[in-house]
């Protein structure tokens, strides 16, 4: 997919000026994009803390671990979807996952990764794909994306998202903050706490 692809949201999200955008996959988009496993952090500024000192979230059945400022409870908003959300000040961290079973395992991994990227672009307001590249972890295929989003009347945000498809899981994890505060090295230090079991 070429860079700088701009997608307009069909609805405008009305939120307080200081609030960051929600994770697009905590609500169910069209098609099967809601099946994606998401670990997404949204914040108003780049993290000043050392993420390696945070407690480790390793949800039962998730097949992965990642560090978060605190370990939240499983909200389970939809059947088969597990969501862990923690909010502090202007920051929000969200982790969710779902297992691939039956015919779901037959779908090519790249289709899930394409749907993950498309779901973020669709659900984030006034979104623009800045970059997208392939990567891998544990021998499984993945994707890394940087996306800018801008809700009307609010500052522009930047999201760095990483997706991964294992043999029986869909996983995504990322971090977002105001664009002017986005420090990629700090973001990468958070993303680096992700581990496959």
Q: Give the best-scoring range by mean pLDDT among 47-51, 67-71, 72-76, 78-82.
A: 67-71
User: pTM of the entire structure?
Assistant: 0.74
- Indicate the class that CATH gives domain 5-196: alpha beta
DSSP E strands in the chain: the ranges are: 5-7, 38-42, 56-57, 64-67, 82-88, 91-99, 127-137, 140-149, 157-165, 169-178, 195-196
pLDDT digits (tens, 9 = 90+) for 93-146: 767 777 788 888 888 999 999 998 998 898 888 999 999 999 999 999 999 999
| Domain boundary assignment for the chain | 5-196
């Amino acid at each position: 997919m070429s860079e700088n692809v701009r997608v307009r949201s069909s609805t405008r999200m009305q939120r307080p000026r200081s609030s960051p955008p929600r994770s697009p996959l905590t609500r169910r988009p069209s098609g099967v994009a809601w099946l994606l496993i998401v670990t997404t952090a949204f914040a108003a500024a780049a993290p000043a803390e050392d993420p390696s000192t945070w407690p480790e979230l390793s949800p039962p059945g998730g097949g992965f671990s990642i560090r978060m400022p605190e370990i939240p409870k499983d909200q389970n908003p939809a059947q088969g979807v597990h969501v862990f959300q923690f909010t502090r000040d202007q920051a929000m961290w969200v982790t969710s996952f779902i297992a691939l079973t039956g015919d779901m395992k037959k779908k090519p991994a790249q289709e899930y990764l394409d749907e993950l990227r498309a779901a973020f672009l669709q659900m984030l307001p006034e979104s623009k794909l800045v970059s997208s590249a392939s990567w891998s972890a544990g021998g499984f295929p993945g994707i890394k994306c940087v996306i800018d989003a801008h809700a009307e009347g609010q500052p522009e945000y930047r999201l760095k998202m990483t997706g991964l498809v294992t043999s029986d899981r869909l996983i995504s994890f990322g971090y977002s903050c105001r664009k002017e505060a986005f420090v990629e090295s700090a973001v990468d230090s958070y993303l680096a706490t992700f581990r496959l079991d």
